[in-house]
């Protein structure tokens, strides 16, 4: 397997397909790099180098007890970019992975970055606060963590229905639902729980002002997991010159339900 070692000794798995201008994908919770296989195949078949990694604690990467915070996630991405000596790279982050790539630019700068795509991302702030009243109540995230600690497998199985918009007009195969659960259960329980705290409570509003590359924000307006009005809509407003694409009726997991549209939009954005 292809791996690299971070500054704290954590071994991170990654896949590296094709040749050409690089595109680096950061996955959502509670998934791993495999969520990107259709986007990677599509882009690499059209002359791009695609790279996706398993976040620490997930998939085939090590499962350290600590380090599940966005500064560390951003530093892990920096280590991968340096390990592969990527330049002129397009960063693509989905859901909690949108926070990784935004924090990478805020923390490490954009010298190596060409463009940024935030897909159903938790940026700029997921949690409801006094100055962010459209966010999600803390009790929701407390309930998620309690559900994971009681019966993670069943919680993820139930969560996947809302993730893909089942019952909201979307259909996915039994195979997709099985793969989603299998991938999620590869992660450590500790990482899965700690990341709920990280993605719900981290405030990325200061990071938005530091993004200085062309940015594409894509969000479904029927997202039951990461509400558009609290996240994608505001991110597009806060990032200078950002382009916003709203997928009508799309759920959080639009990389599956609207996969071909996403592939074409990413290709057009990267090639522009």
- Nearest CA among 106, 121, 4 for reference residue 51: 4
- Whether 61 and 128 have beta carbons less than 8 Å apart is answered as no
CA 121 to CA 113: how far, in whole Å? 18
Among all residues, which ones are annotated catalytic? 95, 223, 252
Cα 183 from chain centroid (whole Å): 15
Q: How far is CA 62 from CA 11, 31, 41, 81, 151, in A?
A: 5, 15, 25, 18, 23
3-state secondary structure at position 1: coil
β-pairing, 3-5 vs 11-17, is: antiparallel
- Nearest CA among 232, 244, 252 for reference residue 126: 232
Tell me the DSSP string of 120-182: S---S--B-BTTBTTSB-HHHHHHHHHHHHHHHHHHHHHHHHHHTTBTTTB---HHHHHHHHH
């Amino acid at each position: 397997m292809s791996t690299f070692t971070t500054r704290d000794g954590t071994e991170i798995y990654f896949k590296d397909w094709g040749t050409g201008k690089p595109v680096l994908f950061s996955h959502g919770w509670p998934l791993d790099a495999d969520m990107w296989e259709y986007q990677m195949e599509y882009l690499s078949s059209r002359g791009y180098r695609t790279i996706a990694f398993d976040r620490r604690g997930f998939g085939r990467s090590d499962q350290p007890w600590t380090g599940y915070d966005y500064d560390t996630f951003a530093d892990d991405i920096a280590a991968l970019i340096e390990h592969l000596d990527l330049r002129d790279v397009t960063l693509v982050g989905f859901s909690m992975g949108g926070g990784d790539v935004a924090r990478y630019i805020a923390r490490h700068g954009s010298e190596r970055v060409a463009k940024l795509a935030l897909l159903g991302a938790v940026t700029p702030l997921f949690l409801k606060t006094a100055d962010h009243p459209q966010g999600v109540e803390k009790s929701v995230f407390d309930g998620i963590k309690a559900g994971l600690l009681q019966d993670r497998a069943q919680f993820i199985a139930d969560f996947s229905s809302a993730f893909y918009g089942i019952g909201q007009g979307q259909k996915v195969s039994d195979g997709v639902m099985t793969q989603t659960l299998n991938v999620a259960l590869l992660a450590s329980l500790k990482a899965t729980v700690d990341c709920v705290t990280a993605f719900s409570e981290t405030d990325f509003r200061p990071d938005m002002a530091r993004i200085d590359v062309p940015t594409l924000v894509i969000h479904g307006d029927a997202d039951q997991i990461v509400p558009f009005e609290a996240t994608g809509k505001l991110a597009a407003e806060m990032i200078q010159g950002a382009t916003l694409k709203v997928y009508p009726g799309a759920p959080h997991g639009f990389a599956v339900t609207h996969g071909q549209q996403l592939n074409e939009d990413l290709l057009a954005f990267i090639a522009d």
